Amino acid sequence: MVELARDFARTRLEPQAAEWDRTKHFPRDVIAELGKLGFLGMTVPEEWDSMGLDSVTYLMALEEIAAGDASVSVSMSIQNAIPATMLVRHGTPAQRERWLKPLARGETLVGFALSEPDSGSDPASMRAQAVRTDGGWVLNGLKAWATNGGTADLMMIMVRTDTPGDRRGPKGISTFIVPTDTAGYRAGKPEDKMGLRASNTATVALEELRLGPEQLLGDEGMGFVYAMEGLDAGRLGIAIQAVAIARRALELSLAYCAERRQFDRPLQDFQAVQFKLADMATRIEAARALAHLAATRKDRGEAASASASMAKLFAAETAMWVTTQAVQLFGGYGYMRDFPVEKLFRDAKVTEIYEGTSEVQRIVIARSLSGR
């Protein structure tokens, strides 16, 4: 699977990534190909039409895809992590049959909507509301920055199910399974982003959106817990996405420093340049090792939440630092759109923001240290 991912990245992603970035093109057909090859539900157990692979194999494959194009990798990462984890752990047999199997076969593209315009780092303060009716639920509200909000077939959406007179904080939130062709689901126009420009990010309006009782996932009031479980898995994917962006920046820097000459010699002959490259390589290796360690802990069934946060925090800051060094090594050319490192620099930034900012990761890690 890792070799297949590497070939796919080199032939189907790398040659087109710059153009997709320039034109904000969402390559749906290419993502569908990834689905057919089995990359969109890799760790779902075999009984649900997947390969039931381990998390380290999944991360190794995702690293290759992300090295080809970070925008495409975010779809692969979300699909494999958050919705899949939620359905595997908390779906009823009927829900898994109906929604997990096509997800695992890569036939449906899936996203999740937790954030809102006024609640990002503090999602328990969300406002979107579901009200119980005779036939099920009616949802109203606004979700923000949903990856694939405008391109997914299915979204896992977190909304309040407590009442204005009885607010329960995180215990007042539930998760719903929402096909995006449901009346009342309306995605806004794709956001115009700094990086990951070929991925779809959109506001989603929920307008009198009616759902049946079978579309509530797991228990009412447990949606926040399910989202946090999903994010533990998701953060591993973002960690490895950051590793891949940094790795690509290093590969390009090595090639450039061998070729570019100043003062009558290639840049790679200067010790200051060699030290920079050595530090880049060391930090990337450490970030990858942290991500693989967290994935191993998760697969062993050990508590892996703080490990996942450490991996994401360290890898994201590594990606930002390494891509900054890469732009520096490319000099003036590094600042130009014609050279690939400026895209990597832009793509790296979001890894410090989404699925919990670096500050939020530090909060999670600090809490785990004090046993809270």
Residue 93 CB neighbour total at 10 angstroms: 8
SS (H, E, C) 69-87: CHHHHHHHHHHHHHHHHHH
Sign of CA dihedral 311, 313, 319, 322: negative
User: Are 70 and 244 contacting, i.e. CB atoms less than 8 angstroms apart?
Assistant: yes
Question: How far is residue 82's CA from residue 226's CA, in Å, rounded to a whole number?
Answer: 9
Q: Which is nearer to ligand FAD, 2 or 353 (CB)?
A: 353
Q: Which is nearer to ligand FAD, 280 or 315 (CB)?
A: 315
Pull the structure tokens for residue 98: 């109906």
Which of 33, 251, 355, 359 is the catalytic position?
355
Shortest distance (Å) from residue 99 CB to ligand FAD: 18
Site string for ligand FAD, 70-109 (x = CB under 6 A): ----------------------------------------
**357 lies in the site for ligand FAD, by CB under 6 A:** yes
CA angle 75, 353, 14 (to 5 degrees): 40
- Out of 201, 253, 268, 361, the residue judged to bind ligand FAD by CB under 6 A: 201
Shortest distance (Å) from residue 73 CB to ligand FAD: 12
Q: 207: helix, coil or strand? A: strand
- Out of 121, 133, 163, 274, the residue judged to bind ligand FAD by CB under 6 A: 121
Site string for ligand FAD, 319-348 (x = CB under 6 A): ------------------------------
**26 lies in the site for ligand FAD, by CB under 6 A:** no
**353 lies in the site for ligand FAD, by CB under 6 A:** yes
Is 355 known to be catalytic? yes
Pull the structure tokens for residue 144: 């923000």
Q: Which is nearer to ligand FAD, 267 or 316 (CB)?
A: 316
Nearest residue to ligand FAD by CB is 120
Q: Which of the residues 161 through 200 are near ligand FAD (CB under 6 A)? A: 193, 196
Shortest distance (Å) from residue 20 CB to ligand FAD: 15
Contacts of 125 (CB under 8 A, 6+ apart): 118, 119
Sign of CA dihedral 30, 102, 188, 72: negative
Question: How far is residue 216's CA from residue 153's CA, in Å, rounded to a whole number?
Answer: 17
Q: Which is nearer to ligand FAD, 200 or 268 (CB)?
A: 200
- Out of 20, 58, 99, 145, the residue judged to bind ligand FAD by CB under 6 A: 145
Shortest distance (Å) from residue 171 CB to ligand FAD: 19
* Number of residues located near ligand FAD, criterion CB under 6 A: 21
At 126, the amino acid letter reads: M
**359 lies in the site for ligand FAD, by CB under 6 A:** yes
Shortest distance (Å) from residue 3 CB to ligand FAD: 29
Contacts of 353 (CB under 8 A, 6+ apart): none
Shortest distance (Å) from residue 201 CB to ligand FAD: 5
Q: Please give the radius of gyration of the chain, using alpha carbons only, rounded to the nearest integer.
A: 21
- Out of 112, 224, 256, 314, the residue judged to bind ligand FAD by CB under 6 A: 112
- Out of 20, 224, 330, 354, the residue judged to bind ligand FAD by CB under 6 A: 354
At 266, the amino acid letter reads: P
Q: Which residues of 102-137 are buried (b: 16+ CB within 10 A; e: fewer)?
A: bbbbbebbbbbbbbbeebbeebeebebbbeeeeeeb
Catalytic positions are 355
Site residues for ligand FAD per CB under 6 A? 111-115, 120-121, 145-147, 193, 196, 201, 350, 353-357, 359-360
